[in-house]
Chain A
């Protein structure tokens, strides 16, 4: 057998083995093995990610202004808290208008419980937008749980292993979030493009959507709790001959530079991940 044909045979063998692994994985038979392999890889990811973040911080911030940085962080957190309060107040006002006829009814929402997790790595495939966090099923995480930062929605838990989990970001093209526009009360579906751009699709043509309007989760479909800030409308595309209008959204959370996220652990999603 010539050298080139033996190489072709070797390549074919590896590809067939990989194909076999693919089939086994689709059947769910490799879950335990994946979990075992990811344990040391996740630990290594966490270790390296901490060092990289420390070096990045060292390079990008003035070293002699530690107090100023701490103060700045405190003020940023304060601004974020006030923004959230403002959003909540506006949302309550809009809802009060809609629910004016239902006197005596007060909408109650259970307090969310959170698990904080550090982002330790990003998805290796450039076609998939997801991040790895350093908490898994040992920390009470389950598939489908919503993930937020203090600024708004980030995504949801897509895969869970014992010590790490993968978060599908809202900027992943496969992600879909049912949203509501705060002022116009129009519903839509948030979809991402491959370049990370977010679009709200399927907005009713009659809705009066304006740039700057806040986009919140609607809770429809049961995949996410309602009223989590998602972003703000940047531009609106409305054409008379189309059934729906679309809008480009600037996400509230900086999903490209996540360091720490909060997983909402007391919300049970109704729809499986990936479903709108």
Chain B
């Protein structure tokens, strides 16, 4: 059930990203709702779901973009996998951990996307891309990482409460 519901949410987030969020860029960057949602969900420990959502979320993103199809999927799955590596680390529970994870996940996502665009023949000025798109977008993602991960934590608690041992 969570797989289907999450996939529908990813489709809605992709439409919101295209119709609403991209109207309000910071320099030329925008926060990536699907990256925020999937990485935050991975940080709650539900990595398999997060990966599936990242896969379908990336497909929805690429459907609404001129970028090569399925590239966002690969980049998002890679970002979620990286986020999942934090599990079990001593700093996992640190309240600021989502900021660092989101920063790294954003940079990995953009690095893979830019590489794919460059390979497909899209002109890519690295300096401009970094200053106008990657860093502003990563900044916005990091800015939204804390509320996003807290929301994901609450949704997880509500939807999947921890089992209670009786007696």
* Chain A positions near chain B (C-beta within 8 angstroms): 4, 7-8, 10-11, 14-15, 17-19, 21-22, 25-26, 30, 34, 37-38, 41, 44-45, 48-49, 52, 56, 120-128, 130, 132, 158-159, 166, 168, 172-174, 193-196
Contact = CB atoms under 8 A, between A and B. Distances in A.
Interface residues of B, number: 57
Contacts of A126: 25, 28-30, 133, 137
Contacts of B55: 14, 17-18
A26 B121 CA distance: 13
A25 B71 CA distance: 11
Given A15-B74, A126-B30, A195 B128 contact: yes
B51 A195 contact: no
B11 A21 contact: no
B97 to A, nearest CB: 18
Contacts of A166: 66
A22 B120 CA distance: 11
What is the predominant secondary structure among interface residues of chain B facing chain A? Answer: helix
B150 interface: no
Contacts of B133: 126-127, 194
18 contacts: A4-B85, A7-B84, A11-B81, A18-B71, A21-B73, A38-B64, A41-B60, A45-B18, A48-B19, A121-B18, A122-B19, A123-B64, A132-B18, A159-B66, A193-B125, A194-B28, A194-B124, A195-B28
Nearest to A22: B70
Contacts of B113: 125, 127
Contacts of A38: 63-64
A56 B20 CA distance: 11
Given A8-B81, A41-B15, A45-B18, A22 B68 contact: yes
Residue from the set A11, A124, A195 with the largest chain B CB neighbour count within 10 Å:
A124
B44 interface: no
A276 to B, nearest CB: 12
A14 B70 contact: no
Contacts of A48: 15-16, 19-20
